[in-house]
């Protein structure tokens, strides 16, 4: 069975680069500290705990929520910035990690997280520039792909309006050459 992904329309494609228009969505998110890989693991565990049943449904009791892809990360900063469904970047050692909730839910129908570290938030329709790539992603590869994306945007005369974000689409047991990753930035 396929894993649900956020809904978007491709506006333009050029090799590994795309301009996309994303539909509105709801995310479950948490803020964590530490290096990229540690923050990714900690954030994933907190939100996975919520979707696997550490929640209170509107009818009472717990509810399991289907897994979606990607798991995204972006740096957390003091300023208010556009958010994206797929992202990763860092400010200091703070990261925002989020899962997009399945599309059949609304804020009114999603179970309430029992852990106050997990928040639900609506994300409005947004446009993103994306570079797609495979393999394992460490800080150096994320930085290199971010630079490639920014160079491509500059060549098109497009100015980003958000922080670049890293999206990972596959479970950890996926072979590196089969993994799908993206760096995205709102524009």
Q: What is the pLDDT of residues 13-55, one digit of tens each?
A: 999 999 999 999 999 999 998 888 888 889 889 998 999 999 9
Predicted confidence band at 8 (pLDDT cuts at 50, 70, 90)?
A: very high
Mean pLDDT of the chain: 87
User: Where along the chain do its domains lie?
Assistant: 8-186
| Tally of CA atoms within 13 A in the half-sphere of 186 that contains its CB | 17
Cα radius of gyration (the chain): 16
CATH code assigned to 8-186: 3.20.80.10
User: Strands, E, within 80-164: which ranges?
Assistant: 94-100, 112-113, 119-123, 126-133
H/E stretch holding 71 reads: strand 71-75
pTM over 0.85: no
pLDDT at residue number 84: 31
Q: Pick the residue with more confidence: 90 or 94? A: 94
Task: Please tell me the distance from the alpha carbon of residue 7 to that of residue 28, in angstroms, as a whole number.
Answer: 16
Task: Please tell me the distance from the alpha carbon of residue 103 to that of residue 156, in angstroms, as a whole number.
Answer: 32
Task: Please tell me the distance from the alpha carbon of residue 43 to that of residue 151, in angstroms, as a whole number.
Answer: 30
H/E stretch holding 139 reads: helix 139-155
For residue 102, give Cα distances in angstroms to 26, 28, 124, 127: 8, 11, 15, 20
Closest C-alpha among 167, 163, 166, 159 to residue 187 = 159
């Amino acid at each position: 069975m396929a894993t649900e992904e956020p809904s978007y329309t491709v506006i333009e494609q050029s090799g590994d680069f795309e301009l996309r228009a994303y539909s509105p969505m709801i995310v479950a998110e948490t803020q964590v500290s530490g290096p990229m890989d540690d923050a990714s693991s900690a954030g994933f565990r907190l939100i996975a705990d919520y979707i696997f049943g550490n929640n209170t449904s509107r009818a009472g009791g717990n509810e399991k929520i289907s897994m979606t892809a990607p798991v995204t990360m972006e740096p957390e900063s003091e300023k208010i910035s556009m958010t994206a469904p797929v992202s990763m970047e860092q400010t200091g050692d703070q990261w925002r990690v989020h899962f997009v909730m399945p599309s059949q839910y609304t804020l009114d129908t999603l179970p309430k997280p029992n852990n106050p570290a997990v928040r639900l938030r609506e994300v409005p329709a947004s446009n993103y520039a994306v570079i797609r790539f495979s393999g394992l992603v460490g800080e150096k590869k994320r930085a290199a792909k971010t630079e490639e994306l920014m160079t491509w945007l500059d060549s098109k005369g497009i100015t980003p309006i958000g922080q670049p974000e890293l999206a990972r689409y596959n479970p950890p047991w996926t072979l590196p050459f089969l993994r799908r990753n993206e760096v995205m930035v709102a524009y």
